[in-house]
Chains A and B, each alone.
Chain A
Amino acid sequence: MDSATPAAAGGFEPRITAFVCNWCTYTGADLAGTSRLQMASNVRIIRLPCTGRIDPMFMIKAFERGADGVIVSGCHPADCHYNAGNYHARRRFAIFRELIQFLGIDTGRITFSWVSASEGAKWRDIVNDTVTRVRGLGPFTAYRKLVVDPATVPAAKVTSKEVPA
């Protein structure tokens, strides 16, 4: 990895993975760019068609792969490009939220929000707030201890069904 490790940089800089929908939040983040709104550079966006597409396992996988925080954001209720995907996402996360603590993850590491295509400034605020909050929580290391050194296990063909959670 090329990014400076927290230790090397002196201070802790959290790594945030964002799962956003294509139509509202991704476009809102585009608008933040077009409007040149400056924000923290810790967030990496993964574009999905809709928040309805987001499997909660994606978030666990992100933490397992070293993310210190996760953002999930899509269209406001009633504004979903696909009519109802965000409602399914909302229900899914209402239940998932209960499980997060059980999985050893501080709920403060996860931000759920709605950002529309015209809310570039709101996206900036969510990015900055999340980075500040997760910076305060410190690095997420609980899952790193569980990661098996790949050198010790034979390489297997990874398919979507076999990817470990």
Chain B
Amino acid sequence: MARIGVFVCHCGENIGRTVDCAKVAELCGQVPGVVHSVDYKYMCSDPGQQMVKAAIAEKGLTGVVVAACSPHMHEKTFRRATAGGGLNPFLCEMANVREHCSWIHEDRDAATVKAVDITKTIVEKVKRNVPLSTIRIPVTRRALVIGGGIAGIQAALDIADGGREVILVEKDPSIGGHMSQLSETFPTLDCSQCILTPRMVEVYQHPRIKLYSYSEVESVEGYIGNFKVKIRRKARSIDEDKCNGCGACTKTCPNKKIPSEFDCGLGKRTAIYVPFPQAVPNLPTIDRAKCLLFMNRAKGRPDTCKKCAEACSKEAIDFDQVDRFVTEDVGAIVVATGYQLYTIGKDQAKPNIKGYGEYGYGTIPDVIDGLQFERLASASGPTSGKIQRPSDGKEPKRIVFLQCIGSRDPQKGMDYCSKICCMYVAKHTMLYHHKVHDGQATVFYMDIRAAGKGYDEFSRRAIEEEGARYIRGRVSKMWRDGDVIKIQGFDTLAGEPIEMDADMVVLATAMRPQPGIDSLAQKLSVSYDQHGFINEAHPKLRPVETNTAGVYVAGACQAPRDIPDAVAMASATASKVLGLFANEMLEREPTVARVDESSCAGCFHCERVCAYGAVEHKEIKDRAGNVLRVIAYVNPGVCQGCGTCQATCPSKSVELAGFTDEQIWSEIQALGV
């Protein structure tokens, strides 16, 4: 006979305010099989956990139900307490009366009735729980880092310095990410490349980091500690072992007018190119969409131009290279794919994003975005650091910055704040004033959000010491009149319309996750929000973990992040990964399926629906060794516990531990009238 203990938590006021916890404890105490039912202010506190442990011993409990918060919150805590009381931890379950009850209802009577219902269903379930023991599986102590921006670089270096091997995959020809494009960084104005490039080199030279540049993750199989990752090494048309990075090929390429991605279209590159001089690895890549030879091949014409191959003394150029695939075994994965800027023009990838046609981006050449301004201000940029208009190369004397383009605008863009724009616009005005002494920078802003160490001081300095003119309000329209950009807007502090002329306009556009993040997230089975940002497991307490064990997240693919945030997150993921790798074996939840050998007919419907290939064929033999039947066997190391096999099995011969039919039937039963 079951002897269940029910422990109802007030969670301070959180549950107690709308649920009569004493009444819940009293009514649950009347349920057959419940021998102990109490309420307490803070069940998760030490005295609360002691109550659980003591009751197990004193009342001889065979099951524990804690009516408190979500199992995602404190299931582990109370399972540990249950184990501490001498009972198998899997005989303890949470009844979620906080997130699913007290926090979402005002009516105390209705909430109390509901809390009783919730607790009773779990009591019925726990009566049918059986002791389980955790599964121990080996851990492959190598990590995969996806994305070679500052977050990915930091994560890779920290893990490798911690003594573990790292595979770093970067989709572009060079690592470095957006940080390598920046001129100077807020709030210290130190040169971005000067602090980044040594790290890039360190990655390249690190004995424990294997870098796959110009590569993408093709597929991911497996689970924490045992992932199998297939990586597509895109054909860069260069033999990486032969090339010595001399750059002779890039000088001879006849196609020199391709807009450079690194310079955000403001500079030009060749078809065979190294994205920027400090690129790591320093290897050229042939852009097959722009190379004459490949363009001819696409049209079925013979190869004509081979100038780069002729210039190469190492015979490193391979026009017939194809995409190659490598498979790596890793135990943990860090996602650090970063961001892209919101596209301002009218063509948008998603129907809910409208763009800002009224600002003339793409039609007025002197309207640029923030990353383009970074390239203009950068000493390595297309103008060697001189602020010049893209249209005529003149130095703009009146420059206007518009903040929140696409951010905080649910109508046309994103409802979130992109976090970094207030700071980088303040930085831009400073860089501009440092370079154009007789110029005037004007900023249209909605609010200034400068929360961070030294951040507010920095934006105050831009306004008070460096002379940037800040106008609170929005611009409604811009058009070109001769070589002047006319701006019409509204000053919301003065409460009057405002018109002004500008030589150049910079739009501080929203941060969005990289395109293709959704398909990557699907490969990794991690969830993402409506914008495509990867969801963390808990917004406060598990900020760099995802809901998929063994997959971690760092940097701007999780939410808009600045460099210090991205680096801090990356180091946090590294500490998580190193913690995971501290043990040779890993303990896993025993929520796995098991086949009833006596009734399995060997139809293998379960095998067909299993997403993990966990179902194996098992031969049942007689004493002479003759095979009598072939039945299904679930490999507990591979099974992830979704239970699809159980719902599919025609003879009900598979049972998922922790979610058996009997348990669920009894829960439904308990809700009955």
Contact = CB atoms under 8 A, between A and B. Distances in A.
Contact of A30 (B99, B652, B672): B99
A140 B431 CA distance: 71
Interface in A88-106: 88-89, 92
A24 B535 CA distance: 11
Given A49-B641, A118-B529, A159-B662, A30 B72 contact: yes
Contact of B668 (A65, A84, A85): A65
Given A29-B100, A33-B99, A65 B673 contact: yes
Given A36-B103, A75-B527, A88-B644, A117 B547 contact: yes
B105 A30 contact: no
Contacts of A41: 101, 104-105, 107, 110-111, 113-114
B525 A82 contact: yes
Interface in B31-72: 70-72
A46 B527 contact: no
A39 B111 CA distance: 11
Contact of B652 (A58, A84, A161): A161
A161 B121 CA distance: 20
Given A61-B668, A65-B671, A2 B116 contact: yes
A80 B526 CA distance: 8
Nearest to A144: B673
Given A4-B113, A66-B672, A29 B99 contact: yes
Classify chain A's interface size: 35 or more
Interface string A71-91: 000010011111111001100
Contacts, number: 175
B525 A81 contact: yes
B117 A79 contact: no
B170 interface: no
B642 to A, nearest CB: 4
A48 B96 CA distance: 14
Main secondary structure of the interface of A (DSSP, over half): loop
B665 interface: yes
A58 B104 CA distance: 26
B660 interface: yes
A40 to B, nearest CB: 9
Contacts of B672: 1, 65-66
Nearest to B609: A88
Interface string A7-35: 00000000101000001101101101110
B664 interface: yes
Nearest to B539: A34
B642 A50 contact: yes
Interface of B: 27, 70-72, 96, 98-101, 103-107, 110-111, 113-114, 116-118, 121, 518, 521-522, 525, 527-530, 535, 547-548, 591, 609, 611-612, 640-644, 646-648, 652, 655-656, 659-662, 664-665, 667-669, 671-673
20 contacts: A29-B100, A32-B99, A34-B103, A41-B101, A41-B105, A46-B667, A48-B643, A52-B644, A53-B642, A53-B643, A62-B668, A65-B669, A66-B672, A79-B528, A81-B527, A81-B547, A116-B527, A158-B662, A161-B661, A163-B662
Closest 8 CB pairs of A and B: A33-B99, A53-B643, A52-B644, A65-B672, A82-B642, A160-B661, A66-B673, A83-B611
